[in-house]
A and B are shown apart, each in its own frame.
Chain A
Amino acid sequence: MYELIIIGGGPAGMTAAVYAARKKLNTLLISYDIGGQVLWTTGIENYMGYQFIEGLELMKKFEEQVKQFPLDMKTGEKVSSLSQTNGGFEARTDKGESYQAKAVIIAAGKRPRQLNVPGEEKLRGRGVTYCAICDGPLFAGENVAAIGGGNSALEAADDMVKIAERVYLVSLTPLTGDQILIDKVKAANNLTMFLEHEVLEIKGESRVKGIKIRDLKSKLERELDVGGIFIEIGLIPNSEPFKGIAPLNGFGEIEVSCANETGVPGLFAAGDVTNIPEKQIVVAAGEGAKAALKAHRYLQRLSE
């Protein structure tokens, strides 16, 4: 049995790991990947100590720092459930493994939200993409749709107007991104906006052929011929495995006190999976540190 299990290998989880290791806690870190959401970020200009650094590069540095310490790591493995046991907690993973610890820090982060419409899953990687900077160049000269009204969707649209034939921007709400981006996108002459429109279906068999949308007000439906669809409709917390054990708010985020406590003794949470107001690398790292220190104090009291 471990003293501490940390679930998640992003900035919160890795920082927690370093703090826990320095307190000489017998720790296991379980994570599907090392770096989490930061891996999808290209340039970072607001993580102190680096005027500019690539996401992957920064996470490599985090990983190197974690590996300075003797702690166990399981990667490529996702925690699928967490339950309370006599002496603490048991985490089960999608590989059928189970691990026990006296205390747990959940730092599982967030993932891109899906539309949940017919065709989306089937055509993922075949015209449906959640990574515009990755797959954008594949759709040069084609018609594409960017879905969403925030900065990510606007950035995808802005990237694509330069290389695609025509870009449709489809948003359920009026645009919510930064005005500077909205102005940029509006100035493009090959972009058409469908605001307050919902996506009903993604069409195509072996690759995307089109998209069906509906005007929320007039209920008018229309089909757009597109070969690529960039879905940028925000993020959702990876909190499903912890539903029964940790308190969640209306957004599915784990509710924590200012000291990262969930209200369940020995169970802490940190970073983007929680209800902390700002989702930033530097904030998540700080939260991970706080959670590990609090967990250490909890374990100290247990052994007293």
Chain B
Amino acid sequence: MAREVKIYTTPTCPYCKMAKKFLDDNGIKYQEFNIVEDKAAREEMKSKCTSLAVPTICFDSEVLIGFNEAELREKLGL
């Protein structure tokens, strides 16, 4: 099932790189938003996901703040 996975990141964030590596390794396609440059995405992350931390990963109705491999695995059904 193709689902729309969004990941909000900052370029200096090691956890963001880990999260992306995890998604890549598991063949999950995602859209990345660099919130340092993309102010609209920053606001979207703050308002829609009520998150103030990166990485924030959103799909379906799920919002995962931070990189937690076990949680992400479970929510993505991996």
Contacts and interface: CB of A to CB of B under 8 A. Distances in A.
- Determine if chain A interacts with chain B: yes
B6 interface: no
6 contacts: A39-B15, A77-B70, A125-B51, A125-B53, A208-B52, A227-B52
Given A56-B17, A135-B54, A138-B53, 5 more contacts: A56-B14, A129-B53, A135-B10, A138-B52, A207-B50
Instruction: Give the interface residue-count category, chain B.
Output: 20 to 34
B73 A76 contact: yes
A173 interface: no
Given A76-B70, A76-B73, A125-B66, A207 B14 contact: no
B64 to A, nearest CB: 10
Given A75-B69, A76-B73, A127 B14 contact: no
Interface in B50-78: 50-54, 65-66, 69-70, 73
A148 interface: no
B14 A135 contact: no
Contacts, number: 79
A95 B69 CA distance: 13
A134 B18 contact: no
Contact of B42 (A127, A138, A206): A138
A125 B66 CA distance: 7
A266 interface: no
A59 B10 CA distance: 20
Nearest to A208: B52
B18 A137 contact: no
Interface of A: 32-33, 35, 39-42, 55-56, 75-77, 95, 124-127, 129, 131, 133-139, 206-208, 227-228
Identify which of A33, A77, A137, A227 gathers the most chain B CB atoms within 10 Å of its CB.
Answer: A137
Contacts of B7: none
Interface of B: 10, 12-18, 21, 35-36, 42, 46, 50-54, 65-66, 69-70, 73
Contacts of A76: 69-70, 73
A116 B5 CA distance: 33
Top-6 shortest CB links A-B: A134-B13, A125-B65, A125-B53, A76-B69, A137-B36, A76-B70
A39 B18 contact: yes
B53 A135 contact: yes
A165 B18 CA distance: 31
B14 A39 contact: yes
A134 B10 contact: yes
A103 B11 CA distance: 41
B56 to A, nearest CB: 8
B15 A134 contact: yes
B69 A206 contact: no
Contacts of B51: 125-126
